Amino acid sequence: MGSLWRKIKWEVDALTVIQLTIVLVTFAAFMIVPLSMIVVRSFYTSEGFSLKWFTSILSDPYYFPLRLKFSQHFPFVWIEGIRGNLFDVIEYTDPSGKLVKIIYLKGWDFGVLVNSLVVAASTTALSTALGFTLAFIFAKYRFPGSEALRVLSMIPLLSTPFVGAIGLKKMIVADGVLNILFHDVLGLLPFKIEITGLPAVIIVQTLLFYPIVMINAYTALISIDPSLEEQAMNVGASGFKLFRTITLPLATPGIEAGALLVFILALEDLGTPIVFKGTTAEKVLTFQIFSKMFTPAGLISEEATTLALILLVISSLVFISIRKYVSLKRYAMLGKGGIWRPRRRKLSMKVTILVYAFTITVLFFATLPHIGVTLLAFAKEWGPTIIPEEFTLNNFLAVLSGEEARRSILNSVVYSSIATAFMVVLGVSAAYLVSRKKGLPGMEALDLLVTLPIAVPGIAVATGLFLTYLGTPLSPTISGAPLLIASYTVRKIPFTVRAVFSGLEQTDKTLDEVAWTVGASKTRTFFGIIMPLILLNIIAGGMLSFIYSMSEVSTSIVVGDANHADAPMTWKMYDMLFHGLTGGTFQPAAMGFILMSLQFLFIVGANLILRKRATALISL
**Helices of type H across 189-301:** 197-222, 226-234, 239-242, 248-268, 271-275, 285-291
Q: What is the mean pLDDT of residues 410-426?
A: 93
Considering the domain architecture, whether residues 142 and 245 belong to the same structural domain is answered as yes
Asked whether the predicted pLDDT for residue 461 surpasses 60, the reply is: yes
pLDDT of res. 333: 46
Looking at the domain assignment, is residue 116 inside a domain? yes
Considering the domain architecture, whether residues 326 and 419 belong to the same structural domain is answered as no
Considering the domain architecture, whether residues 447 and 574 belong to the same structural domain is answered as yes
pLDDT band at 618 (very low <50, low <70, confident <90, very high): very low
Q: What is the mean pLDDT of residues 7-17?
A: 71
Dihedrals phi, psi of 336, to nearest 5 degrees: -80, -10
Looking at the domain assignment, is residue 67 inside a domain? no
Considering the domain architecture, whether residues 341 and 452 belong to the same structural domain is answered as no
pLDDT band at 332 (very low <50, low <70, confident <90, very high): very low
Considering the domain architecture, whether residues 373 and 423 belong to the same structural domain is answered as no
pLDDT band at 511 (very low <50, low <70, confident <90, very high): low
Lowest mean pLDDT among 93-97, 397-401, 468-472: 93-97
Considering the domain architecture, whether residues 371 and 480 belong to the same structural domain is answered as no
pLDDT band at 475 (very low <50, low <70, confident <90, very high): confident
Looking at the domain assignment, is residue 243 inside a domain? yes
pLDDT tens, residue by residue, 360-377: 999 999 999 999 999 999
pLDDT band at 128 (very low <50, low <70, confident <90, very high): very high
Asked whether the predicted pLDDT for residue 259 surpasses 50, the reply is: yes
pLDDT tens, residue by residue, 199-233: 999 999 999 999 888 888 888 788 776 666 666 66
Asked whether the predicted pLDDT for residue 616 surpasses 50, the reply is: no
- Structural domain including 483 reads 11-43+397-618
Considering the domain architecture, whether residues 362 and 435 belong to the same structural domain is answered as no
CATH number at residue 200: 1.10.3720.10
Give CA–CA dist 44/64, Å, rounded: 23
Average pLDDT, the chain: 83
Looking at the domain assignment, is residue 295 inside a domain? yes
Considering the domain architecture, whether residues 418 and 290 belong to the same structural domain is answered as no
pLDDT band at 620 (very low <50, low <70, confident <90, very high): very low
Considering the domain architecture, whether residues 201 and 321 belong to the same structural domain is answered as yes
Considering the domain architecture, whether residues 375 and 403 belong to the same structural domain is answered as no
Percentage of residues in the chain having pLDDT higher than 70? 85
Looking at the domain assignment, is residue 336 inside a domain? yes
Lowest mean pLDDT among 13-27, 309-323, 562-576: 309-323
pLDDT of res. 301: 85
On whether the CB atoms of residues 560 and 567 are closer than 8 A, the answer is: yes
AA identity, residue 235? V
Q: What is the mean pLDDT of residues 450-459?
A: 85
Q: Of 324, 355, 381, which residue is a domain's last?
A: 381
Considering the domain architecture, whether residues 541 and 605 belong to the same structural domain is answered as yes
User: Residue 479: which region, alpha, beta or left (left: phi > 0; alpha: psi -120 to 50)?
Assistant: beta
Strand 48-49 with 44-45, pairing: antiparallel
Looking at the domain assignment, is residue 443 inside a domain? yes
pLDDT tens, residue by residue, 558-568: 888 888 889 99
Looking at the domain assignment, is residue 64 inside a domain? no
pLDDT band at 337 (very low <50, low <70, confident <90, very high): very low
Give CA–CA dist 136/142, Å, rounded: 11
pLDDT of res. 326: 59
pLDDT of res. 227: 65
Across 285-391, the runs of DSSP E, i.e. the strands, are: 345-346, 379-381, 390-391
Looking at the domain assignment, is residue 541 inside a domain? yes
Asked whether the predicted pLDDT for residue 335 surpasses 80, the reply is: no
Q: How far is CA 156 from CA 176, 205, 272, 468, in A?
A: 21, 10, 15, 36
Asked whether the predicted pLDDT for residue 603 surpasses 80, the reply is: no
More confident residue, 588 or 14: 588
Closest CA to 570 of 587, 588, 582: 588
Q: What is the mean pLDDT of residues 470-492?
A: 89
Q: Of 338, 355, 381, which residue is a domain's last?
A: 381
- Counting the structural domains of the chain, the total is 2
Q: Of 357, 381, 405, which residue is a domain's last?
A: 381
pLDDT tens, residue by residue, 22-62: 999 999 999 999 999 998 888 877 677 878 888 888 888 99
Considering the domain architecture, whether residues 369 and 403 belong to the same structural domain is answered as no
Strand 141-142 with 345-346, pairing: parallel
On whether the CB atoms of residues 606 and 502 are closer than 8 A, the answer is: no
